[in-house]
Structures are given as C-alpha cells and as structure tokens.
C-alpha cells in the first residue's frame, strides 16, 4: 500500500519588522517640538495577518506524527501501544528464541517502522508499528537463497475488475495480518534484539529466527508459498500467466483471487462461495475483512452510474502538496503540443534528486491514467541528467494533474467481450537519436485494460518499420492476455484485432510484399505472420483520426488529446462525489 503524507506550511511570518532609532543631537539650536504619539501596530505585538497562499493545506490536527526514533515513539501512548502489540504478536507466534553469540553468525540488524494507515478519505484508520529486519545485512548462500514477491500485474487487476463489473460479481477485499510472519524459515538467520525491547536478563543474546520477518530477503516468497499451498488444497489453480492470480472453477461457479503481497481481492460468480472462502482463509490466517472493495493499492474504487471508476485522487493530492503545486494554475494537456524535449535543452539541475523523485511518483499514476503515459515515458528518459527545461515539463504535468485531480479510469458495465488493440508509432520523433516511440492500447469490450508508451530501441529506416515493430510489441501483449483469459475460463466470441493506421505495416502482416527490405525484422515478421495465419488475431487498417493510441506517441493539441482519452475511458468522477483540492476528507 502505497501511503503518502501532506506537508505542513507555516501560517505566520517569522519576525516583526525592527524599529530604527537615532541618537539625539548633543546641541539643539532650534527648540524641538514634542514627538507625535507613537502608534502601536499589530506587527509590533507580533500579531500578523495570515497569508492565505500558505494556508491552503494547513489543518489543525491532534494526530500523532510518525516518529523518527524509538525513544520518540515510546514517549507517545499511541505508538507505544502499537509497538507493544507488534512485539507481543511476534513472541506469541514463536518468531525467535534468544541464544548466546558464538562469533560465527552473520547477525542481521532490525529497526522499527512507523506508519499511519489511512482510509480512502484520508482519515486515520490505525497506528501501525512494524519490526523490520535489515535484510541488506544478509549474505546470499549463507542466510538466504531464493527470493520472490507476489505482486499482481496491473493489467490483470484491470482485466479481472472489468469482468467482475460486467458480470455483476461481488468484489471483496481482505488484509492478512502479519502476513510475512506466516511463512516458515528454512535458513539459519540471526538478528539483534528489537530496539526498546531488549531482554534485561539477557542483554547480549541474539535472536535465532524461526519465522520470517518483514525485511528478510526470503520473506515475500515464504508467505507466498504458505498461501499458495493452502489455496491449492482448496482446489484453486495457480495461473501460469500471472503467478499472483488464483482461479477456482467448479461446475458453474468460478472465483478469482488477486494477491498483492498481503492485500487480497476476491471476486466470483457466487456471493455464498466468496463468503465461504473468506471464512476458510480466516481459519488458516489472521486476517481483516475489509468488506466491499473500495481502496486498493492507493486506488479508490468508486461506484459510477455506468460501472466503476478507478481513481488515484488521494495520491495526486499528496503529490501536489509535496511538490508545493496545490495552488498552481491548471493546464489541459500534460505536455505542450509543440514540445520537443532534448537531452541538451536547458541547464543541468544542481540537485537532480527532486526531479527523479517526482518522475518516479508520476510513474505510479500510470496504473489508472493512460493520458499520462507519453509524458511519463518522455520525462523518464532524462533521469540521468535532468535540466531546467525538463523540470519545467515536470511542473506542467503537475499542473495538468491539478486540472484533472478528479479524473480516473472508467470500467464500464458491458456484455461485450471483444478483444481489440490500437497500435501506433511516431517515426524518428526523438530529436537526440532519431528513435521512434511505439504505443498501444488494448480493450476488453469498451474497457482499456492494458497500455504502453515506450521508446523503441533501434532506429527505424521507415515509418512502416516503426509501425511494424509497434504491432509486434502489441501482438506479444495481446497473446499474453489471451493466455490469461484462457486460465480465467473466459471465451472471446470474435477474433481479436489489432488496428494500425499504416497501410504498409498492415499489408506486411498478411503477406510478404516488403520482405526483401525487412530481413532485419525476421523475428517480428515471423511472429506476427504465424499468429495471423493461425487465426489467433488479425491486423486491420484504421484511419489516423480513429487511432486511439495516437496520444501515447507524441504531444497533441488540447481538443484532439481530450477526445482520444474520453474514448479510452479517462473521465472525471461523478459530480456528487467530487471534493476540493484542499480537502482532507
């Protein structure tokens, strides 16, 4: 889960203006009149009128801030209770035993991590203190071997949610308490005693771990193995296309489970089956039933008259606050239509860390915002040496987010299950090395479930070659989605289609008319031709004005950009659910 925190702004000036006095003259030739009565102003009494620009995000809160040290945490009753609760759970679970040092152990450190878990409206849900092992102290082959983390793919999330909405299935969410502690540890791992909870009778002893702790290299894999083994016993099948997806299919009933570390989303054709599954999981693991899906991985799932809207409004507000762009003027496109960013444009930034941090934060927004894909792809190309021009482009993206804070991805309720994709490329559009940008958007019925905007690795000799490479990338993603749908027991009634607006690339997919000039594309050529000939999908021509992937390859004017993303499904949330930029709720 991704959690971000609003920064506080000062609400007053720091010091009153100083008064200036002069010493009187030693001789007064002309009699001096009595000075006028001194006016005592508010500033002299250190009373200042508030500066409203600085108060946009100011809130009066009694919430305990996240502590920076163990001593600070132990002095606060909220955090002290959270730490004691975590420590007692570890002891009760038999996580370790205290042993004497022999000098031969590789001892791993540990630390407390403090987080406030928030609801979708930003209010505090609970205080969470977690003991985390310093896994970077571990040595491969000594105290760990294999590693793996169960992280569901974004495309799988959107695809399953689209199916659930279209079929009217319930969407439930559960959170496994201390999930990593459920896994068994098969390596010898030794750790220092937790800060603030050192046994006074054995202060020099160390912990020999029997259960997995957060932070250990093998922790995610151990938890995944425990969950996987239990679900397989219940009759679930582990997906080969996405190992964090589990499918149960029996008679007319089907259940899907999406796993993102310890956050689990469950949906299925039978509400009773879903309830029984949650009960069975609760018997095996300590979990919290969060009810209907509403907030997952920092994404709000909002009911919409036509389906559900996936929104990252809370994340956007936190990002705008962190970058001090909350009160900026909004713009209608992420990049100017005339934008031609280059490596050499502008002066190098003195401190590039903020640029890298903000661009990294923007990348997470691509989960629900295909309208940001091209801008994020372009800005990510300058992380090694960002300049002032690149930073101005980042600020424009933030201004666009300020204008579209309430926008999200709409997954419509529809009985149509056609699978189709739009593939496009901007030939030699990069002014630095003349590479092309390839992009695609894939739809299941009316819903966008996968998209990409990416710089091609090699220079294309022609627009046909650039478009053909993009079609090959789209075909690979489409083939993977077809495998995923097969495991989900979803039948696509019509042949999937890839739409391309380049006539030459479209003809090349069906027959070898340009084969003599495309020998260096042999792998892409044979891959696409084989799938087209076997009837797995078809490649068809589409007019340029109907090419929905156009905005993922280059900057566009406002009207064209808006029309395309309206068709893709980027829409504002219903007006009755909108808030204000400065709202905390």
Quote the Cα angle for 110-115-119, to 5°.
150
* Cβ–Cβ under 8 Å, residues 183 and 223: yes
**496 lies in a domain?**
yes
pLDDT tens digit sequence for 163-219 = 999 999 999 999 998 888 888 888 999 999 999 999 999 999 999 999 899 999 999
φ, ψ dihedrals at 406, nearest 5°:
-85, 5
Within this chain, do residues 421 and 499 fall inside the same structural domain, yes or no?
Answer: yes
Within this chain, do residues 580 and 449 fall inside the same structural domain, yes or no?
Answer: yes
Within this chain, do residues 198 and 86 fall inside the same structural domain, yes or no?
Answer: yes
Q: What's the half-sphere exposure (Cβ side, CA atoms, 13 Å) at 563?
A: 9
Considering the chain, what percentage of its residues have pLDDT values greater than 70? 85
What does the pLDDT read at residue 42? Answer: 55
Residue ending a domain, choose from 296, 316, 351: 296
**455 lies in a domain?**
yes
What is the DSSP code (8-state) at residue 367?
T
Within this chain, do residues 338 and 263 fall inside the same structural domain, yes or no?
Answer: no
Q: Tell me which of 58-62, 70-74, 424-428 is least confident.
A: 58-62
φ, ψ dihedrals at 325, nearest 5°:
-115, 20
Task: Tell me which residue of 249, 254, 264 sits closest to 164, measured CA to CA.
Answer: 254
What does the pLDDT read at residue 22? Answer: 42
Residue ending a domain, choose from 246, 278, 296: 296
pLDDT tens digit sequence for 270-304 = 999 999 999 999 999 989 999 999 999 999 999 99
Within this chain, do residues 443 and 372 fall inside the same structural domain, yes or no?
Answer: yes
Residue 473, token pair as written in the block: 């990338």
What is the extent of the structural domain holding 523? Answer: 324-585
Greatest alpha-carbon span in the chain: 113
**302 lies in a domain?**
no
Residue ending a domain, choose from 296, 313, 342: 296
Residue 508, token pair as written in the block: 């090349």
Confidence of residue 518 (pLDDT cuts 50, 70, 90): low
Q: Is the pLDDT score of 38 beyond 50?
A: yes
Considering the chain, what percentage of its residues have pLDDT values greater than 90? 70
Within this chain, do residues 261 and 380 fall inside the same structural domain, yes or no?
Answer: no
What does the pLDDT read at residue 511? Answer: 74
Residue 37 DSSP SS3 = coil
Q: Is the pLDDT score of 20 beyond 80?
A: no
Alpha-carbon gap, residue 298 to 364, rounded angstroms: 10
What does the pLDDT read at residue 43? Answer: 54
Within this chain, do residues 243 and 149 fall inside the same structural domain, yes or no?
Answer: yes
**397 lies in a domain?**
yes
Within this chain, do residues 367 and 280 fall inside the same structural domain, yes or no?
Answer: no
CATH number of the domain encompassing residue 418: 3.30.420.10
Within this chain, do residues 286 and 351 fall inside the same structural domain, yes or no?
Answer: no
Within this chain, do residues 288 and 208 fall inside the same structural domain, yes or no?
Answer: yes
C-beta neighbour count of 188 within 10 angstroms? 11
**531 lies in a domain?**
yes
Residue 142 DSSP SS3 = coil
Q: Is the pLDDT score of 253 beyond 70?
A: yes
Q: Is the pLDDT score of 139 beyond 90?
A: yes
What is the DSSP code (8-state) at residue 536?
S
Within this chain, do residues 434 and 582 fall inside the same structural domain, yes or no?
Answer: yes
Higher pLDDT, 396 or 580: 396
Sign of the dihedral through C-alpha 331, 336, 341, 347: negative
What does the pLDDT read at residue 252? Answer: 86
Q: What is the pTM of this model?
A: 0.81
* Cβ–Cβ under 8 Å, residues 239 and 247: yes
Confidence of residue 390 (pLDDT cuts 50, 70, 90): very high
What does the pLDDT read at residue 64? Answer: 61
Confidence of residue 576 (pLDDT cuts 50, 70, 90): low
Residue 483 DSSP SS3 = helix
What does the pLDDT read at residue 31? Answer: 41
User: What's 369-405 look like in SS3?
Assistant: CHHHHHHHHHHHHHCCCCEHHHHHHHHHHHHHHHHCC
**154 lies in a domain?**
yes
How many domains does the chain divide into? 2
What is the residue-averaged pLDDT of the chain?
87
Within this chain, do residues 204 and 103 fall inside the same structural domain, yes or no?
Answer: yes
**46 lies in a domain?**
no
Alpha-carbon gap, residue 159 to 484, rounded angstroms: 9
What does the pLDDT read at residue 396? Answer: 98
**301 lies in a domain?**
no
What does the pLDDT read at residue 264? Answer: 97
pLDDT tens digit sequence for 395-425 = 999 999 999 999 999 999 998 899 999 999 9
Beta-sheet pairing, 538-541 with 497-500: parallel
Q: Is the pLDDT score of 73 beyond 80?
A: yes
Q: Tell me which of 312-326, 430-444, 464-478, 518-532 is least confident.
A: 518-532
């Amino acid at each position: 889960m991704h959690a971000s925190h609003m920064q506080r702004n000062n609400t007053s000036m720091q010091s009153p203006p100083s008064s200036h006095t002069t010493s009187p003259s030693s001789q007064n030739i002309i009699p001096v009149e009595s000075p006028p009565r001194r006016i005592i102003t508010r500033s002299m009494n250190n009373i200042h009128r508030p500066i409203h620009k600085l108060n946009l995000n100011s809130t009066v809160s009694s919430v305990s801030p996240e502590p920076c040290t163990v001593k600070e945490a132990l002095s606060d009753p909220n955090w002290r209770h959270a730490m004691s609760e975590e420590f007692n759970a570890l002891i009760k679970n038999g996580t370790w035993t205290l042993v004497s040092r022999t000098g031969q152990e590789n001892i791993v450190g540990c630390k407390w991590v403090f987080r406030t878990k928030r609801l979708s409206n930003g209010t505090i849900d609970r205080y969470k203190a977690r003991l985390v092992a310093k896994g970077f102290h571990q040595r491969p082959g000594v105290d760990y071997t294999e590693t793996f983390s169960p992280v569901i793919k974004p495309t799988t999330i959107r695809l399953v949610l689209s199916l659930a909405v279209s079929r009217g299935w319930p969407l439930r969410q559960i959170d496994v308490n201390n999930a990593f502690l459920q896994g068994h540890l098969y390596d010898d791992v030794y750790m220092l005693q937790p800060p603030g909870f050192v046994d006074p009778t054995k202060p020099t002893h160390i912990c020999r771990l029997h259960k997995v702790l957060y932070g250990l290299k093998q922790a995610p894999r151990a938890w995944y193995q425990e969950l996987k083994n239990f679900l397989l016993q219940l009759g679930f099948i582990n997906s080969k296309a996405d190992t964090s997806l589990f499918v149960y299919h029996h008679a007319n009933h089907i259940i899907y489970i999406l796993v993102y570390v310890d956050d689990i989303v469950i949906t299925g054709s039978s509400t009773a089956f879903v309830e029984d599954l949650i009960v069975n999981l609760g018997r095996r693991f300590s979990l919290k039933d969060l009810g209907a899906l509403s907030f997952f991985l920092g994404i709000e799932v909002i009911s919409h008259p036509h389906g559900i809207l996936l929104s990252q409004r809370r994340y956007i507000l936190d990002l705008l606050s962190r970058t001090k762009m909350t009160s900026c003027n909004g713009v209608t496109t992420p990049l100017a239509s005339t934008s031609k960013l280059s490596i050499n444009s502008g002066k190098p930034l003195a401190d590039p860390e903020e640029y890298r941090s903000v661009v990294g934060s923007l990348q997470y927004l691509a989960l629900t915002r295909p309208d940001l894909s091209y801008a994020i792809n372009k800005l990510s190309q300058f992380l090694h040496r960002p300049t002032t021009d690149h930073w101005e482009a980042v600020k424009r993206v933030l201004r666009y987010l300020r204008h579209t804070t309430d926008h999200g991805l709409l997954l419509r309720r529809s009985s149509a299950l056609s699978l189709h994709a739009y593939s496009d490329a901007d030939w030699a559009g990069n002014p630095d090395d003349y590479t092309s940008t390839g992009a695609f958007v894939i739809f299941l019925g009316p819903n966008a479930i996968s998209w990409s905007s990416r710089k091609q690795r090699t220079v294309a000799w022609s627009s046909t070659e650039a478009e053909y490479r993009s079609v090959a990338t789209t075909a690979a993603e489409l083939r993977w989605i077809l495998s995923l749908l097969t495991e989900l027991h979803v039948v696509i009634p019509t042949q999937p289609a890839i739409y391309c607006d380049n006539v030459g690339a479209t003809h090349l997919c069906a027959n070898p008319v340009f084969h003599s000039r495309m020998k260096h594309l042999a792998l892409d050529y044979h891959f696409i031709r084989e799938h087209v000939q076997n009837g797995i999908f078809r490649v068809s021509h589409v007019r340029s004005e109907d090419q929905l992937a156009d905005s993922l390859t280059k900057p566009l004017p406002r009207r064209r950009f808006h029309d395309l993303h309206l068709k893709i499904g980027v829409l504002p949330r219903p007006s009755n659910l909108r808030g204000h930029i400065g709202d905390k709720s």
